[in-house]
Amino acid sequence: MSKFISFTYNHDQLFAESASLIEIAKEFGTPCYVYSRAALVAAYQEFNRAFAGRDHLICYAVKANSNLAILNILACLGSGFDIVSGGELQRVLKAGGDPQKIVFSGVGKNQDEMRMALTAGILCFNVESEMELLSLNQLAKEMDKIAPVSLRVNPDVDAKTHPYISTGLKENKFGIPMAEAERIYHTAAHELPHVRITGLDCHIGSQLTEIDPFIEASNKMLALLDRLEKQGICIEHLDLGGGLGISYSQESPPSIKDYVTALCNSVGQRKQRILIEPGRSLVGNTGLLLTRVEYLKHAPHRNFAIVDAAMNDLMRPALYDAYHEILPVVKKSSEVNNTYQVVGPVCETGDFLGHDRQLSLTKDDLLAVMSAGAYGMSMSSNYNTRPRAAEIMVDGHAIHLIRARETVEQLIASEKILD
Ligand SMILES: *Cc1c(COP(=O)(O)O)cnc(C)c1O
Protein backbone atom coordinates (compact mmCIF):
# COMPACT_ATOMS: atom_id res chain seq x y z
CA MET A 1 0.00 0.00 0.00
CA SER A 2 1.28 3.47 -0.86
CA LYS A 3 2.03 5.76 2.06
CA PHE A 4 -0.39 8.27 0.53
CA ILE A 5 -3.55 6.28 1.05
CA SER A 6 -5.81 9.19 0.07
CA PHE A 7 -3.73 10.87 -2.63
CA THR A 8 -3.80 8.82 -5.80
CA TYR A 9 -3.76 9.28 -9.56
CA ASN A 10 -6.85 8.64 -11.62
CA HIS A 11 -6.28 8.90 -15.38
CA ASP A 12 -3.00 10.72 -14.72
CA GLN A 13 -4.65 13.31 -12.50
CA LEU A 14 -3.90 13.53 -8.78
CA PHE A 15 -6.89 13.38 -6.45
CA ALA A 16 -7.40 13.92 -2.73
CA GLU A 17 -9.86 11.11 -1.93
CA SER A 18 -12.51 11.73 -4.61
CA ALA A 19 -11.83 15.43 -5.00
CA SER A 20 -9.88 16.85 -7.91
CA LEU A 21 -6.89 18.97 -6.92
CA ILE A 22 -7.40 20.98 -10.11
CA GLU A 23 -10.89 21.90 -8.91
CA ILE A 24 -9.60 22.76 -5.45
CA ALA A 25 -6.96 25.08 -6.93
CA LYS A 26 -9.59 26.69 -9.14
CA GLU A 27 -11.98 27.33 -6.29
CA PHE A 28 -9.62 28.27 -3.45
CA GLY A 29 -6.44 29.38 -5.17
CA THR A 30 -2.87 28.40 -4.41
CA PRO A 31 -0.86 27.87 -2.36
CA CYS A 32 -3.15 25.82 -0.14
CA TYR A 33 -2.87 22.88 2.18
CA VAL A 34 -5.13 19.93 1.38
CA TYR A 35 -5.83 17.29 4.02
CA SER A 36 -7.69 13.98 3.85
CA ARG A 37 -10.15 13.17 6.59
CA ALA A 38 -10.07 9.46 5.74
CA ALA A 39 -6.29 9.31 6.03
CA LEU A 40 -6.39 11.07 9.40
CA VAL A 41 -9.05 8.74 10.77
CA ALA A 42 -7.17 5.71 9.45
CA ALA A 43 -3.93 6.77 11.16
CA TYR A 44 -5.69 7.35 14.49
CA GLN A 45 -7.51 4.01 14.27
CA GLU A 46 -4.25 2.23 13.50
CA PHE A 47 -2.76 3.58 16.73
CA ASN A 48 -5.90 2.82 18.69
CA ARG A 49 -6.26 -0.74 17.40
CA ALA A 50 -2.62 -1.52 18.07
CA PHE A 51 -3.18 -1.03 21.80
CA ALA A 52 -5.76 -3.82 21.73
CA GLY A 53 -7.20 -4.36 25.24
CA ARG A 54 -4.62 -2.24 27.03
CA ASP A 55 -5.51 0.86 29.04
CA HIS A 56 -4.10 3.71 26.95
CA LEU A 57 -4.55 7.29 25.81
CA ILE A 58 -3.33 8.71 22.52
CA CYS A 59 -2.47 12.36 23.09
CA TYR A 60 -2.11 13.99 19.69
CA ALA A 61 0.77 16.51 19.70
CA VAL A 62 -1.13 19.62 18.69
CA LYS A 63 1.91 21.52 17.47
CA ALA A 64 2.19 19.22 14.44
CA ASN A 65 -1.00 20.71 13.00
CA SER A 66 -3.35 22.70 15.15
CA ASN A 67 -6.25 23.45 12.80
CA LEU A 68 -9.54 23.26 14.72
CA ALA A 69 -11.08 20.86 12.19
CA ILE A 70 -8.24 18.39 12.69
CA LEU A 71 -8.46 18.70 16.47
CA ASN A 72 -12.23 18.23 16.32
CA ILE A 73 -12.02 15.09 14.17
CA LEU A 74 -9.53 13.60 16.61
CA ALA A 75 -11.54 14.69 19.66
CA CYS A 76 -14.62 12.94 18.20
CA LEU A 77 -12.56 9.76 17.82
CA GLY A 78 -11.73 9.93 21.54
CA SER A 79 -8.22 11.28 21.18
CA GLY A 80 -6.41 13.14 23.91
CA PHE A 81 -3.99 16.00 23.27
CA ASP A 82 -0.44 16.99 24.10
CA ILE A 83 -0.19 20.78 24.25
CA VAL A 84 2.81 23.06 24.61
CA SER A 85 1.16 26.46 25.15
CA GLY A 86 -1.90 28.21 26.50
CA GLY A 87 -2.85 28.97 22.91
CA GLU A 88 -2.93 25.28 22.08
CA LEU A 89 -5.04 24.68 25.19
CA GLN A 90 -7.59 27.20 23.96
CA ARG A 91 -7.65 25.55 20.55
CA VAL A 92 -8.24 22.09 21.99
CA LEU A 93 -11.06 23.30 24.25
CA LYS A 94 -12.64 25.21 21.36
CA ALA A 95 -12.44 22.09 19.18
CA GLY A 96 -14.33 20.05 21.77
CA GLY A 97 -11.36 18.26 23.35
CA ASP A 98 -11.86 16.74 26.80
CA PRO A 99 -9.69 18.55 29.40
CA GLN A 100 -9.25 15.25 31.23
CA LYS A 101 -7.40 13.98 28.16
CA ILE A 102 -4.93 16.87 27.92
CA VAL A 103 -1.28 16.69 28.93
CA PHE A 104 0.73 19.90 29.01
CA SER A 105 4.40 19.66 27.90
CA GLY A 106 7.08 22.29 27.38
CA VAL A 107 10.10 23.70 29.22
CA GLY A 108 8.77 27.21 29.71
CA LYS A 109 5.13 27.19 30.78
CA ASN A 110 4.31 30.64 32.17
CA GLN A 111 1.99 31.56 35.04
CA ASP A 112 -0.94 32.49 32.81
CA GLU A 113 -0.70 29.23 30.91
CA MET A 114 -0.51 27.18 34.10
CA ARG A 115 -3.46 29.06 35.56
CA MET A 116 -5.53 28.44 32.46
CA ALA A 117 -4.69 24.73 32.53
CA LEU A 118 -5.49 24.42 36.25
CA THR A 119 -8.81 26.12 35.67
CA ALA A 120 -9.62 23.84 32.75
CA GLY A 121 -8.76 20.76 34.84
CA ILE A 122 -6.28 19.01 32.56
CA LEU A 123 -5.11 15.42 33.02
CA CYS A 124 -1.55 16.38 33.88
CA PHE A 125 1.36 18.77 33.63
CA ASN A 126 4.50 17.22 32.19
CA VAL A 127 6.93 19.11 34.41
CA GLU A 128 10.38 19.72 32.98
CA SER A 129 12.35 21.23 35.86
CA GLU A 130 12.40 21.46 39.64
CA MET A 131 11.81 25.20 39.48
CA GLU A 132 8.72 24.67 37.35
CA LEU A 133 7.45 22.14 39.89
CA LEU A 134 7.85 24.61 42.77
CA SER A 135 6.23 27.36 40.79
CA LEU A 136 3.28 25.15 39.86
CA ASN A 137 2.83 24.08 43.48
CA GLN A 138 2.78 27.73 44.57
CA LEU A 139 0.26 28.73 41.90
CA ALA A 140 -2.00 25.76 42.68
CA LYS A 141 -1.89 26.77 46.34
CA GLU A 142 -2.97 30.31 45.50
CA MET A 143 -5.81 28.89 43.44
CA ASP A 144 -6.70 26.36 46.12
CA LYS A 145 -6.16 23.50 43.70
CA ILE A 146 -4.03 20.39 43.40
CA ALA A 147 -2.02 20.16 40.19
CA PRO A 148 -1.64 16.68 38.68
CA VAL A 149 1.98 16.22 37.61
CA SER A 150 4.18 13.87 35.72
CA LEU A 151 7.91 14.53 35.56
CA ARG A 152 9.41 14.58 32.10
CA VAL A 153 12.62 12.72 32.58
CA ASN A 154 15.45 12.92 30.10
CA PRO A 155 16.52 9.32 29.52
CA ASP A 156 19.76 10.27 27.72
CA VAL A 157 19.28 8.11 24.64
CA ASP A 158 20.33 8.95 21.12
CA ALA A 159 17.24 9.21 18.94
CA LYS A 160 19.44 9.09 15.81
CA THR A 161 17.48 11.85 14.12
CA HIS A 162 18.17 15.43 12.97
CA PRO A 163 19.96 17.30 15.81
CA TYR A 164 17.32 20.07 15.84
CA ILE A 165 14.58 17.55 16.64
CA SER A 166 16.53 15.31 18.99
CA THR A 167 15.41 16.00 22.55
CA GLY A 168 16.38 13.04 24.73
CA LEU A 169 20.13 13.50 25.10
CA LYS A 170 21.42 14.85 28.39
CA GLU A 171 22.83 17.95 26.65
CA ASN A 172 19.35 18.91 25.33
CA LYS A 173 17.28 21.51 27.18
CA PHE A 174 14.38 19.10 27.72
CA GLY A 175 13.35 17.17 30.79
CA ILE A 176 14.79 16.45 34.20
CA PRO A 177 18.11 14.58 34.30
CA MET A 178 17.67 10.93 35.18
CA ALA A 179 20.08 11.31 38.12
CA GLU A 180 17.81 13.91 39.73
CA ALA A 181 14.44 12.35 38.97
CA GLU A 182 14.04 10.30 42.15
CA ARG A 183 14.96 13.17 44.44
CA ILE A 184 12.49 15.50 42.71
CA TYR A 185 9.74 12.87 42.84
CA HIS A 186 10.32 12.68 46.58
CA THR A 187 10.11 16.44 46.87
CA ALA A 188 6.84 16.38 44.94
CA ALA A 189 5.45 13.54 47.04
CA HIS A 190 6.46 14.77 50.49
CA GLU A 191 7.02 18.50 50.43
CA LEU A 192 4.61 19.99 47.94
CA PRO A 193 0.99 19.54 49.06
CA HIS A 194 -0.47 21.26 46.00
CA VAL A 195 0.87 18.84 43.43
CA ARG A 196 -0.20 15.24 43.03
CA ILE A 197 2.05 12.78 41.23
CA THR A 198 0.16 10.97 38.50
CA GLY A 199 2.73 9.82 36.00
CA LEU A 200 6.14 9.55 34.46
CA ASP A 201 6.98 10.99 31.05
CA CYS A 202 9.66 11.11 28.39
CA HIS A 203 9.98 12.26 24.78
CA ILE A 204 13.25 11.70 22.98
CA GLY A 205 12.80 13.40 19.64
CA SER A 206 10.98 13.46 16.36
CA GLN A 207 11.10 11.62 13.03
CA LEU A 208 12.64 8.51 14.55
CA THR A 209 12.91 5.74 11.99
CA GLU A 210 14.03 2.93 14.31
CA ILE A 211 12.30 1.24 17.24
CA ASP A 212 15.42 0.66 19.37
CA PRO A 213 15.80 4.17 20.84
CA PHE A 214 12.12 4.13 21.90
CA ILE A 215 12.60 0.83 23.67
CA GLU A 216 15.85 1.93 25.26
CA ALA A 217 14.06 5.01 26.62
CA SER A 218 11.06 2.96 27.73
CA ASN A 219 13.26 0.51 29.60
CA LYS A 220 15.02 3.32 31.44
CA MET A 221 11.64 4.84 32.37
CA LEU A 222 10.37 1.47 33.56
CA ALA A 223 13.42 0.91 35.75
CA LEU A 224 12.77 4.32 37.31
CA LEU A 225 9.06 3.55 37.67
CA ASP A 226 9.84 0.31 39.50
CA ARG A 227 12.23 2.11 41.85
CA LEU A 228 9.64 4.79 42.58
CA GLU A 229 6.91 2.27 43.29
CA LYS A 230 9.21 0.43 45.72
CA GLN A 231 9.62 3.72 47.57
CA GLY A 232 5.87 4.09 47.81
CA ILE A 233 5.46 6.63 45.03
CA CYS A 234 2.51 5.56 42.95
CA ILE A 235 2.65 6.09 39.19
CA GLU A 236 -0.71 5.89 37.42
CA HIS A 237 0.43 6.41 33.88
CA LEU A 238 3.54 6.07 31.79
CA ASP A 239 3.81 8.60 28.97
CA LEU A 240 6.29 7.41 26.35
CA GLY A 241 6.14 10.56 24.22
CA GLY A 242 5.82 10.92 20.47
CA GLY A 243 8.36 10.90 17.72
CA LEU A 244 7.53 8.02 15.41
CA GLY A 245 8.79 8.99 11.95
CA ILE A 246 7.06 8.86 8.61
CA SER A 247 8.36 8.10 5.14
CA TYR A 248 9.18 11.31 3.25
CA SER A 249 11.28 9.54 0.63
CA GLN A 250 13.37 6.41 1.24
CA GLU A 251 12.95 6.11 5.02
CA SER A 252 11.23 2.99 6.24
CA PRO A 253 10.08 3.72 9.78
CA PRO A 254 8.40 0.98 11.78
CA SER A 255 4.67 0.67 11.22
CA ILE A 256 2.37 2.21 13.81
CA LYS A 257 1.34 -1.29 14.83
CA ASP A 258 4.90 -2.56 15.29
CA TYR A 259 5.85 0.56 17.22
CA VAL A 260 2.89 0.37 19.62
CA THR A 261 3.29 -3.38 20.04
CA ALA A 262 6.97 -2.95 20.94
CA LEU A 263 6.08 -0.29 23.51
CA CYS A 264 3.37 -2.48 25.04
CA ASN A 265 5.76 -5.44 25.19
CA SER A 266 8.37 -3.38 26.97
CA VAL A 267 5.82 -2.32 29.58
CA GLY A 268 4.88 -5.98 29.97
CA GLN A 269 2.55 -6.94 32.83
CA ARG A 270 2.68 -3.59 34.60
CA LYS A 271 -0.72 -2.10 35.21
CA GLN A 272 -0.04 1.54 34.37
CA ARG A 273 -2.04 3.25 31.69
CA ILE A 274 0.18 3.95 28.66
CA LEU A 275 0.12 7.39 27.08
CA ILE A 276 1.78 8.34 23.82
CA GLU A 277 2.07 11.74 22.15
CA PRO A 278 2.24 11.20 18.37
CA GLY A 279 2.15 14.23 16.11
CA ARG A 280 3.85 13.68 12.77
CA SER A 281 2.89 10.00 12.46
CA LEU A 282 -0.81 10.92 12.83
CA VAL A 283 -0.99 13.81 10.37
CA GLY A 284 2.20 13.96 8.29
CA ASN A 285 1.09 11.90 5.34
CA THR A 286 -2.52 13.07 5.51
CA GLY A 287 -1.77 16.45 3.91
CA LEU A 288 -0.10 18.06 0.91
CA LEU A 289 0.75 21.58 -0.13
CA LEU A 290 -0.74 22.51 -3.47
CA THR A 291 1.22 25.09 -5.45
CA ARG A 292 1.33 26.53 -8.95
CA VAL A 293 4.31 27.13 -11.21
CA GLU A 294 4.69 30.87 -11.76
CA TYR A 295 7.80 30.95 -13.91
CA LEU A 296 10.44 28.69 -15.34
CA LYS A 297 13.94 30.03 -15.50
CA HIS A 298 16.61 28.21 -17.41
CA ALA A 299 19.95 29.55 -16.15
CA PRO A 300 23.22 28.24 -17.63
CA HIS A 301 23.84 25.63 -14.95
CA ARG A 302 20.46 25.16 -13.32
CA ASN A 303 16.79 25.18 -14.10
CA PHE A 304 14.50 26.89 -11.65
CA ALA A 305 10.80 26.30 -11.24
CA ILE A 306 9.51 29.29 -9.32
CA VAL A 307 6.28 28.33 -7.56
CA ASP A 308 3.79 30.32 -5.51
CA ALA A 309 4.47 28.46 -2.24
CA ALA A 310 7.55 29.38 -0.26
CA MET A 311 9.56 28.78 2.90
CA ASN A 312 7.04 30.83 4.87
CA ASP A 313 4.36 28.26 3.92
CA LEU A 314 6.50 25.16 4.41
CA MET A 315 9.60 25.79 6.46
CA ARG A 316 10.95 22.26 6.79
CA PRO A 317 13.22 22.28 3.71
CA ALA A 318 14.82 25.59 4.72
CA LEU A 319 15.04 24.68 8.42
CA TYR A 320 16.17 21.05 8.36
CA ASP A 321 17.08 20.57 4.71
CA ALA A 322 14.09 18.23 4.78
CA TYR A 323 12.98 16.32 1.70
CA HIS A 324 9.39 16.44 0.48
CA GLU A 325 8.31 14.50 -2.58
CA ILE A 326 6.96 16.82 -5.28
CA LEU A 327 4.39 15.35 -7.66
CA PRO A 328 2.80 16.84 -10.75
CA VAL A 329 -0.97 17.16 -10.36
CA VAL A 330 -1.31 16.19 -14.02
CA LYS A 331 1.12 13.56 -15.26
CA LYS A 332 2.34 14.40 -18.72
CA SER A 333 2.80 11.81 -21.41
CA SER A 334 5.79 13.68 -22.83
CA GLU A 335 9.13 12.42 -21.66
CA VAL A 336 10.84 15.84 -21.75
CA ASN A 337 12.00 16.00 -18.16
CA ASN A 338 14.31 18.62 -16.79
CA THR A 339 16.13 18.74 -13.49
CA TYR A 340 14.56 21.57 -11.53
CA GLN A 341 15.28 23.51 -8.39
CA VAL A 342 11.77 24.08 -7.07
CA VAL A 343 11.90 27.44 -5.30
CA GLY A 344 9.55 30.04 -3.86
CA PRO A 345 9.35 33.81 -4.32
CA VAL A 346 10.88 34.72 -0.93
CA CYS A 347 14.13 36.68 -0.91
CA GLU A 348 16.35 34.01 0.64
CA THR A 349 18.54 31.41 -1.03
CA GLY A 350 17.22 28.99 1.59
CA ASP A 351 13.76 29.41 0.08
CA PHE A 352 13.40 26.11 -1.72
CA LEU A 353 10.90 23.28 -1.61
CA GLY A 354 13.00 20.74 -3.46
CA HIS A 355 16.40 20.39 -5.14
CA ASP A 356 17.19 18.52 -8.35
CA ARG A 357 13.71 17.23 -9.16
CA GLN A 358 12.99 15.52 -12.46
CA LEU A 359 9.85 17.19 -13.73
CA SER A 360 8.20 18.06 -16.99
CA LEU A 361 6.84 21.56 -16.43
CA THR A 362 5.14 24.44 -18.15
CA LYS A 363 3.94 27.71 -16.69
CA ASP A 364 0.79 27.41 -14.51
CA ASP A 365 1.21 23.69 -13.86
CA LEU A 366 0.10 22.52 -10.42
CA LEU A 367 2.47 20.66 -8.12
CA ALA A 368 1.73 18.75 -4.93
CA VAL A 369 4.36 18.94 -2.19
CA MET A 370 3.67 15.70 -0.34
CA SER A 371 3.87 14.70 3.34
CA ALA A 372 3.07 18.26 4.39
CA GLY A 373 0.39 17.52 6.99
CA ALA A 374 2.76 17.86 9.96
CA TYR A 375 4.86 20.92 10.81
CA GLY A 376 3.71 22.60 7.61
CA MET A 377 0.95 25.08 8.32
CA SER A 378 1.74 25.08 12.03
CA MET A 379 5.26 26.41 11.39
CA SER A 380 4.24 28.85 8.68
CA SER A 381 4.89 32.56 9.00
CA ASN A 382 4.13 35.85 7.32
CA TYR A 383 7.70 36.49 6.20
CA ASN A 384 7.78 38.84 3.21
CA THR A 385 4.23 39.89 4.24
CA ARG A 386 2.83 36.79 2.63
CA PRO A 387 -0.66 35.96 3.90
CA ARG A 388 -0.78 32.39 5.11
CA ALA A 389 -2.20 29.72 2.84
CA ALA A 390 -5.76 28.43 2.90
CA GLU A 391 -6.40 24.99 4.39
CA ILE A 392 -8.83 22.51 2.91
CA MET A 393 -10.16 19.23 4.28
CA VAL A 394 -11.44 16.70 1.79
CA ASP A 395 -13.99 14.11 2.89
CA GLY A 396 -14.90 11.81 0.03
CA HIS A 397 -16.24 14.12 -2.68
CA ALA A 398 -16.80 16.97 -0.22
CA ILE A 399 -14.32 19.82 -0.07
CA HIS A 400 -14.33 21.92 3.10
CA LEU A 401 -12.47 25.15 3.58
CA ILE A 402 -11.14 24.81 7.15
CA ARG A 403 -9.07 27.98 7.18
CA ALA A 404 -9.55 30.85 4.79
CA ARG A 405 -6.51 32.37 3.15
CA GLU A 406 -5.26 35.29 5.21
CA THR A 407 -5.56 38.80 3.84
CA VAL A 408 -2.97 41.55 4.01
CA GLU A 409 -5.54 43.64 5.92
CA GLN A 410 -5.57 41.01 8.65
CA LEU A 411 -1.79 40.99 8.77
CA ILE A 412 -1.42 44.69 9.37
CA ALA A 413 -4.61 45.28 11.38
CA SER A 414 -2.86 45.56 14.74
CA GLU A 415 0.07 47.68 13.57
CA LYS A 416 0.20 51.41 14.20
CA ILE A 417 1.98 54.41 12.76
CA LEU A 418 3.31 56.91 15.34
CA ASP A 419 0.95 59.85 16.00
C1 LIG B 1 6.75 17.62 19.39
C2 LIG B 1 6.43 16.74 20.53
C3 LIG B 1 5.72 15.55 20.31
C4 LIG B 1 5.32 15.06 18.94
O5 LIG B 1 6.42 14.68 18.16
P6 LIG B 1 6.15 13.98 16.75
O7 LIG B 1 7.51 13.73 16.23
O8 LIG B 1 5.40 14.94 15.90
O9 LIG B 1 5.40 12.73 17.01
C10 LIG B 1 5.35 14.81 21.42
N11 LIG B 1 5.69 15.19 22.68
C12 LIG B 1 6.39 16.33 22.91
C13 LIG B 1 6.71 16.69 24.31
C14 LIG B 1 6.78 17.13 21.85
O15 LIG B 1 7.47 18.24 22.10
Tens digit of each residue's pLDDT, the chain (419 residues) = 578 999 999 999 999 999 999 999 999 999 999 999 999 999 999 999 999 889 999 999 999 999 999 999 999 999 999 999 999 999 999 999 999 999 999 999 999 999 999 999 999 999 999 999 999 999 999 999 999 999 999 999 988 888 877 777 777 888 999 999 999 999 999 999 999 999 999 999 999 999 999 999 999 999 999 999 999 999 999 999 999 999 999 999 999 999 999 999 999 999 999 999 999 999 999 999 999 999 999 988 899 999 999 999 999 999 999 999 999 999 997 767 899 999 999 999 899 999 999 999 999 999 999 999 999 999 999 999 999 999 999 999 999 999 999 999 999 999 999 99
The conformational region for residue 52 under phi > 0 = left, psi -120 to 50 = alpha, else beta, is: left
What is this structure's pTM? 0.97
- Predicted confidence (pLDDT) per residue in 307-358, tens digit: 999 999 999 999 999 999 999 999 997 767 899 999 999 999 899 999 999 9
CB of 67 within 8 A of CB of 92? no
Atom of ligand 1 nearest to the CA of 63: 1
- Ligand 1: centre distance to CA 63 (Å): 8
Q: Which sign does the torsion angle of CA 19, 21, 23, 24 carry?
A: positive
What CATH fold (topology level) applies to the domain 7-36+284-412? Lyase, Ornithine Decarboxylase; Chain A, domain 1 (2.40.37)
Sequential DSSP letters for 54-84: S-EEEEEEGGG---HHHHHHHHHTT-EEEES
Query: What 3-state DSSP class applies to 159?
Result: coil
Is 375 among the annotated ligand-binding positions? yes
Cβ atoms of residues 256 and 286 within 8 Å: no
pLDDT of residue 234: 96
Cα dihedral 415/109/313/3 (nearest 10): -160
Question: How much is the pLDDT for 196?
Answer: 98
- Backbone phi, psi, residue 290, to 5°: -95, 125
**Spacing, Cα 205 to ligand 1 middle (Å):** 7
> Minimal CA–CA distance to 33: which of 287, 205, 232, 217?
287
Pocket flag, ligand 1, residue 278 (CB < 6 Å)? yes
CATH says 105-278 is which class?
A: alpha beta
Distance 211 CA to ligand 1 centre (A): 16
Regarding the beta carbon of 201 and ligand 1, being less than 6 Å apart is answered: no
Residue 306 has what pLDDT? Answer: 98
Nearest to 323 by CA among 342, 339, 305: 342
The CB of 82 under 6 Å from ligand 1? The reply is yes
Rounded distance from Cα 45 to ligand 1 centre (Å): 19
**pLDDT value, residue 247:** 96
Cβ of 206 less than 6 Å from ligand 1: yes
Find the helix or strand (DSSP H, E) in which 127 lies. strand 124-127
What is the model's pLDDT at position 117?
A: 98
Q: Is the CB of 85 under 6 A from ligand 1?
A: no
Active site residue 76: no
273 annotated ligand binder: no
Residue 243 is assigned to a ligand binding site: yes
64 lines ligand 1 (CB under 6 A): yes
Domain limits, the chain? 7-36+284-412, 105-278
CB 241 within 8 A of CB 202: yes
- So what's the pLDDT on residue 170? 78
CA 162 to ligand 1 centroid distance, Å: 14
What is the pLDDT at residue 163?
A: 80
Q: Is 27 annotated as a binding residue?
A: no
Q: Give yes or no for residue 241 CB within 6 A of ligand 1.
A: yes
Ligand 1 pocket: which of 44, 59, 63, 127 to mutate (most atoms <8 Å of CB)? 63
210 annotated as a binding-site residue: no
User: Is the alpha carbon torsion for 107, 234, 144, 97 positive or negative?
Assistant: positive
Nearest-10 Cα torsion for 278, 283, 285, 289: -140
* Residue of 32, 202, 264, 347 marked catalytic: 347
Asked whether the beta carbons of 33 and 392 are under 8 A apart, the reply is: yes
